[in-house]
């Protein structure tokens, strides 16, 4: 285990998945970490997540996976369906097949369960201090590192460190103040989420979706993905449609007319399911251009959505945040005598992979929302492509151990 230089106190702004993973990753290498979270506590927020093998491999290495597994689900496949008639187009095998192929499990989880597992791991580490109700308002640079202005319910205090990790999300304030990074932009898309309790005997959701698979319904006007979470006790539904940016947060109880109109052209069981859900939560999808700067040589690094928020079409938002945190910690540990070099290596190494994931997401969106002749070609190709070939197309993503290429 590495012992960090006393001068390199690691400061983290934001206690979401990216920030908590970074805290554990740096502390596991001997660094002293202070994490600042603006919220007064860690509330149960968000909905489901898909954690592919590239993410769970790192969570296992950090001692988080075992804490997460009791609440996780190991789906047996990703199933692609034509939303208009519910016919199966393709199936990517997961379960034990995924674990053998990619070396780690593919899981579906509730975001709150992942956050709880990360928090439990962080709280047991004496090198990590977690401070809630602490909003980072400003950052100043000096010869010894960085100084943060921390707002605690109106009282301002300072925190000093050698490295600031900005993990404050898509609407990051530090991206502009500390790095002069790119601003976020609205995509014109809205995500709609809800979580249903699994019924006994099976209800319409279970009969339509399946108990142990990730199901994606494809349509020109929307796509809808459904999968089990909470150890199989609940089903997470997320749909994406065109829409307006109404807020910068999950808006509970939003009028779902836009969603219901988009799904009205789907097969009746699917349209009925969307109609019968009593409460949908909406989220405007904003992105951050991954080509912008992520670091500052004086000692700042952006990770996760703060650096490169992306659309959910590749289901890699959480995975990229986890990868960022672990790769950054590894590179800094190997080059802690030259922090500017470490930050340069981090940005140089991570950017091509993030851009490739974004390209994959853009391709998925094009394919999933295809119409007319393009949809006919898509369906023809998917129906004739074996599950093994579909899985092989993802080897570069799910099978790569990103720590092996770290400088």
Which residue, among 313, 205, 191, 315, has the nearest Cα to 256 in the 3D structure? 191
> What is the crossing angle of helices 53-61 and 317-334, to 10°?
40
Torsion of CA 226, 359, 82, 384, to 10 degrees: -120
Q: What is the pTM of this model?
A: 0.95
- Predicted local confidence at residue 253, as pLDDT: 61
Give the C-alpha separation, 273 to 343, whole Å: 48
Burial class (CB in 10 A: 0-12, 13-18, 19+), 3: exposed
Model confidence pLDDT, tens digit, residues 323-382: 999 999 999 999 989 999 999 999 999 999 999 999 999 999 999 999 999 999 999 999
The reported pLDDT for the residue numbered 361 is: 97
Q: What is the pLDDT of residue 372?
A: 97
* pLDDT at residue 167 tops 90: yes
How high is the pLDDT of residue 248?
60
How far is residue 235's CA from residue 23's CA, in Å, rounded to a whole number?
Answer: 30
- When mean pLDDT is compared across 98-102, 195-199, 201-205, 216-220, the lowest value belongs to 201-205
CA distances from 333 to 21, 26, 31, 293 (A): 16, 8, 9, 21
Question: What average pLDDT does range 205-226 have in this prediction?
Answer: 91
pLDDT, tens digit, 9 for 90 and up, residues 227-271: 999 999 999 999 999 998 766 655 556 789 999 999 999 999 999
Domain chopping of the chain, boundaries: 10-184+287-402
% pLDDT > 90, the chain: 84
Between strands 33-37 and 10-13, the pairing is parallel
β pairing state of 184-197 and 234-242: antiparallel
Nearest one of 350, 352, 357, 294 to 323, comparing CA atoms = 350
Which residue in the block uniquely carries the two structure tokens 């491999």? 57
Determine the pLDDT at residue 4: 42
CATH number of 10-184+287-402: 3.50.50.60
On average, the pLDDT of the chain sits at 93
Alpha carbon 140 to chain centroid, angstroms: 29
Cα(182)–Cα(196) distance, integer angstroms: 37
User: What's the pLDDT band for 182 if we cut at 50, 70, 90?
Assistant: confident
User: Distance between CA 39 and CA 65 in Å, rounded?
Assistant: 25
| pLDDT single digits (tens) 301-330 | 999 999 999 999 999 999 999 999 999 999
* pLDDT over 50 at 5, yes or no: no
Dist CA 90 CA 110 (whole Å):
25
Distance separating alpha carbons of residues 356 and 169, to the nearest angstrom:
21
Q: What is the pLDDT of residues 265-279, one digit of tens each?
A: 999 999 999 998 878
């Amino acid at each position: 285990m590495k012992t960090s230089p006393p001068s390199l106190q690691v400061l983290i702004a934001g206690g979401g998945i990216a920030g908590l993973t970074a805290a554990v990753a740096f502390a596991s290498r001997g660094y002293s970490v202070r994490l600042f979270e603006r919220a007064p506590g860690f509330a149960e927020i968000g909905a489901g997540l898909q954690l592919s093998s590239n993410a769970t491999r790192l969570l296992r290495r950090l001692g988080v996976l075992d804490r997460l597994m009791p609440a996780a689900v190991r789906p047996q496949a990703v199933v692609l369906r034509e939303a208009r008639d519910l016919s199966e187009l393709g199936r990517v095998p997961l379960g034990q097949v995924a674990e053998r192929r990619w070396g780690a499990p593919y899981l579906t989880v509730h975001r709150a369960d992942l956050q709880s597992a990360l928090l439990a791991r962080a709280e047991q580490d004496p090198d990590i201090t977690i401070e809630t109700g602490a909003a980072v308002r400003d950052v100043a640079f000096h010869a010894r590192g960085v100084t943060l202005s921390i707002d605690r319910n109106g009282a301002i205090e300072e925190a000093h460190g050698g490295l600031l990790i900005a993990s404050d999300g898509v609407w990051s304030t530090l991206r502009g103040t500390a790095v002069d990074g790119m601003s976020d932009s609205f995509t014109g898309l809205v995500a709609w989420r809800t979580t249903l309790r699994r019924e006994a005997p099976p209800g319409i959701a279970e009969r339509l979706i399946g108990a142990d698979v990730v199901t994606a319904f494809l349509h020109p006007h929307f796509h809808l993905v459904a999968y089990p979470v909470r150890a199989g006790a609940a089903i997470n539904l997320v749909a994406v449609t065109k829409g307006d940016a109404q807020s910068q947060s999950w808006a509970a109880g939003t009028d779902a007319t836009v969603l219901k109109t988009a799904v009205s052209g789907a097969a009746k069981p699917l349209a009925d399911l969307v109609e019968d859900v009593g409460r949908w939560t909406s989220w405007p999808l904003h992105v951050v251009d991954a080509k912008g700067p992520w670091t500052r040589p004086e000692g700042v690094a952006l990770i996760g959505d703060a650096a490169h928020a992306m659309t959910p079409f590749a289901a890699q938002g959480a995975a990229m945040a986890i990868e960022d945190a672990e790769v950054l910690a590894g590179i800094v540990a190997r080059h802690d005598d030259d922090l500017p070099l470490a930050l340069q290596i981090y940005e140089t190494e991570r950017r091509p992979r993030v851009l490739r994931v974004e390209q994959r997401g853009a391709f998925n969106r094009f394919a999933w929302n295809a119409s007319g002749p393009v949809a006919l070609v898509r369906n023809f190709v998917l129906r004739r492509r074996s599950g093994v070939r579909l899985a092989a197309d993802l080897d570069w993503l799910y099978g790569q151990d990103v720590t092996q290429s770290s400088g």
